Amino acid sequence: MLSPFPFAAIAALTAMTLGILAAMHDEVDDLVAAMRHEDARATVHHIGMRDYHVGELFGQRCVLVLARIGKVAAAATTVTLVHQFGVRELVFTGLAGGVGPHTRVGDVVIADRTVQHDMDARPLFPRHEVPLLGRAEFAADPALTDALYDAAAGFLRDDLATAVPAAVRARFGVSAPALHRGMIASGDQFINAPAIAAELPARLPGLLAVEMEGAAVAQVCHEYGVRHALMRTVSDRADDSAHLDFPAFLGEVASHYSAGILRRFLAARA
């Protein structure tokens, strides 16, 4: 059922639900299908060129939305989730380039903090610091992050072998994928150059992965007092091979990671 506004009625119906965002279609398509299968009463609200799917997902009341790519798109979507749907918790799932020394294709990175690697308002403010907020890094919520980490660990240990066939994993070089927790950096740039991939962790010690949305979501959550957690599947090493088979990896590997990990995460909350 497709619904336009009214915002007040939407917020009253969905307050205190969990918001789930992703940047690309394949990262949410399986989740949307699961919601439609599970909840015949699920509704769709079209706001700001986005479809917000409201209903039960793996036993939990959720608002699921494709945020689209980039920091502005992610921030705009997050504000809508907070203001119009009343969400107080938020999870972002998607892909990232691995830049940490031990992050490999097929690994999962759970953010404990995020930073905008392209934020630079010098000399008015220190590099990476968000103007007028007095901080460069935004911490993820510890409890949500722990829960997401546990769900990812369970998926990699028990579900990966059936979720992604061995032949598919071999084709993408996914072997014994690891789980990491640490810094993720965001910027409005697809990183696919070895020099940049090497420079970023040198400039941001502890950096594990780079993407284009998470830190913007984290900033909005900070400003509105919303708990958040962020997970990324490593699709490449952010070097000059980053574009190779990206759509195939997204559809054949990463989408199954997202659905499987979130299934465990939500089931644990039921």
Q: What angle do CA 220, 30, 156 make, to 5 degrees?
A: 85
Burial class (CB within 10 angstroms; exposed 0-12, middle 13-18, buried 19+) of 270: exposed
First to last CA, the chain: 25
Catalytic residue among 27, 129, 141, 211: 27
Does the active-site annotation cover 29? no
Burial class (CB within 10 angstroms; exposed 0-12, middle 13-18, buried 19+) of 43: middle
Does the active-site annotation cover 27? yes
Burial class (CB within 10 angstroms; exposed 0-12, middle 13-18, buried 19+) of 119: buried
| Residue type present at position 239 | D
Element holding 85 (H helix, E strand): helix 71-85
81 neighbors 87 (Cβ within 8 angstroms):
yes
Q: What angle do CA 31, 83, 6 make, to 5 degrees?
A: 85
Catalytic residue among 89, 107, 137, 236: 236
Catalytic residues: 27, 236
